Structure 1
Amino acid sequence: MLAEVKPAARPLSPHLQIYRWSWTMAMSVIHRATGCALYAGTVLIAAWLVAAASGPAAFETAQWIAGSILGRLVLFGYSFALLHHMVGGLRHFVWDLGYGYEPETRMNLAKYSVFVSGGLTLLVWIVVLATR
């Protein structure tokens, strides 16, 4: 008769029920989400360029869509995603240089990346709308 083999007692891998949700975790998720949003937004920009190359009627339609309230919301979201992804990339660049690993600095970099990217987005839109 074969003896029953019991599995070795191994530690469980950490998972979301063990970790406390933190700013750095949230910014990691948002950085990935903005990267995905940039793919979709780039497809829309390519469609706009194709419309521009297709002639005045197609370009006028694309401009009307981009100028609508929904179009402007999409453009605002795209610009936020672009700037937030850039700020997140700069945060990672600082870490790649070997700085900012202290717990307080790491959390502050994560917290302030939201405010910096939001402020930059508003600044870009204020400048664009003021120069029209």
Structure 2
Amino acid sequence: MSTSPLPGDDQTGRFVVQPNGRVRPLSPHLQIWRWHVTMAASILNRLTGGALSVGAVLVFLWLLALAFGPDAYATFTGWMGSPLGLAVWFGLTLALCLHLAGGVRHLIWDAGHGLSPRTADALSWASMIGGGVIAVAFWALLFTSGRIAL
């Protein structure tokens, strides 16, 4: 463990002296790392988790409208049945499917499978594409069955 001054009077800012006097390199940041699909899948999983929090609020508002009677419920379903409301519900369905597929990917990794770089990349692509396909198929089924119409 080096307690000497920064290596070669470092002018790059890549090293820092810790409070205990040890010289350590700074951790690399996004500018340093090469972008790869597992990174994108991880970020997407976090974003969809946040979107699902918003979705939980919308479900709560739906239940609240149901509790306040037929007029409140009709107003809520009028808003959420509009093209903009359907786009919001589709986005939440997409977030749910992507988050679920990402969770399955993590479950596979937690079991100790698919950890090689090639397999991890393939699982990441499969979770992102599969989640999107499931969401689109679900909404296609809703439209073709006549349960939802624009």
TM-score by length of 1: 0.92
Identity %: 43
CA shift for structure 1 position 17: 1.7
Amino acid at match of 1:83: C
Q: Would you tell me which structure has more helix in proportion to its own residues? A: 1
CA shift for structure 1 position 119: 0.5
Equivalent position to 2:119, from 105, 118, 126: 105
Partner of 2:56: 42
Between Structure 1 and Structure 2, whose CA radius of gyration is higher?
2
CA shift for structure 1 position 14: 2.0
Q: Distance in 1 between matches of 2:75 and 2:68?
A: 11
2:139 matches 1:125 = yes
Q: Distance in 2 between matches of 1:114 and 1:101?
A: 17
CA shift for structure 1 position 11: 2.0
**1:43-122 mapped onto 2 (5 Å cutoff):** 43-122=57-136
Q: Distance in 2 between matches of 1:53 and 1:128?
A: 26
2:39 matches 1:25 = yes
3-state DSSP of counterpart to 2:59: helix
Q: Distance in 1 between matches of 2:60 and 2:77?
A: 13
TM-score by length of 2: 0.81
- Structure 1 stretches lacking a partner, 5+ long: none
CA shift for structure 1 position 122: 0.8
Q: Distance in 1 between matches of 2:97 and 2:72?
A: 29
Task: Describe the superposition over 1:14-59 as per-residue Cα deviations: whole angstroms up to 9, x where unpaired.
Answer: 2112110111001111100000000001101110111012111111
Q: Distance in 2 between matches of 1:17 and 1:50?
A: 46
RMSD: 1.3
3-state DSSP of counterpart to 1:10: strand
